[in-house]
Amino acid sequence: MCGQIFSYKQTANGFVVYSQNKKAEVVEFEKFFEIRTKNIDYFKNFFDLETDYKKIKNVLSREKALQDPIKFGSGIRILKQDLLEVIISFVVSANNNIKRITKILFALRENFGENMGDFFAFPTLKKLENITEKQFFALGAGYRSSQLVKLINQLKAVDFESWKEQKTETIKNKLVALSGIGPKVADCILLFGFGKTDVFPVDTWIEKVYNQYFGTCKNRIIIRKELTKKFENLSGYAQQYLFYFQRSFNSK
């Protein structure tokens, strides 16, 4: 897994991924993966199985800086996730490390999500509405607790269905108006929640990659602009290959 979702657990021969109130077990074999789930259609879409990644990789391989990352992360897919879960997850992710993000999000499921038997569902908006700032603190959400409470309150008035057909930049403007959502988190929501691949989330890792391979710049707004100009509709895919590669070789 590569940092797109935080609700998964390693197993002896693969991993179990939790999305919304569903789960899928992914078992790794020598030449293929097997996905075991009761929700076949949901996870067929979730793992983006209908998209031709071979074609995408061929185009992106023209860029020298992407050749090794594509080889290294050849199995990467852009996960099409539940919108509410993506929004909350990436607000929690801001200025945080993956281990701690995972811990907070599992605690959120366990304390406020429906008991599904052998796991807990991600809380519905209705359940989230009842969580206080103090309770978010108790989960370990730190200073994001107040942002989360404010955000959840704002979400009550949002009709995401009507957003889905709109242009990327239109949705982005609406997202950054919400509490806890800035340009980077908005890009992640657009990519993993709305399936918009013409975005390039720029975080601390991508900033490093950019300065290593593409140019010299510390302004993330400008880096994003340059990279989306370069990769256009394939920006989101390019970002994932670069992110995964960079993070794998620079952290534990």
Partner DNA sequence: TTCCAGGTGCATA
Partner DNA sequence: TATGCACATGGA
Structure tokens at 177: 């108006």
Neighbour order of strands in the sheet with 8-11: 8-11, 14-19, 22-28, 33-36
Residue 140, interface with DNA (CB under 7 A)?
yes
- Binding DNA (rule: CB under 7 A), the pick from 37, 128, 239, 245 is 239
Instruction: Based on the shown chain and the rule CB under 7 A, indicate whether residue 180 belongs to the binding site for DNA.
Output: yes
Q: What angle do CA 213, 215, 220 make, to 5 degrees?
A: 105
Token duo for residue 66: 């992407």
Q: How far is the CB of 44 from DNA (least distance, A)?
A: 21
The answer to whether the beta carbons of residues 227 and 235 sit under 8 Å apart is yes
**Contact code string over 73-112 relative to DNA, x by CB under 7 A:** --------------------xxxxxxxxx-----------
The C-alpha angle 138, 79, 215, rounded to 5 degrees, equals 95
* CB closer to DNA, 20 vs 93: 93
The rounded distance, in Å, linking the Cα atoms of 226 and 232 is: 10
- CB 88, min distance to DNA, A: 13
Comparing CB distances to DNA, the nearer of 27 and 94 is 94
* Residues within the interface to DNA (CB under 7 A): 2-4, 93-101, 137, 140, 142-143, 147, 176, 178-186, 188, 201, 203-206, 219, 239-240, 243, 247, 251-252
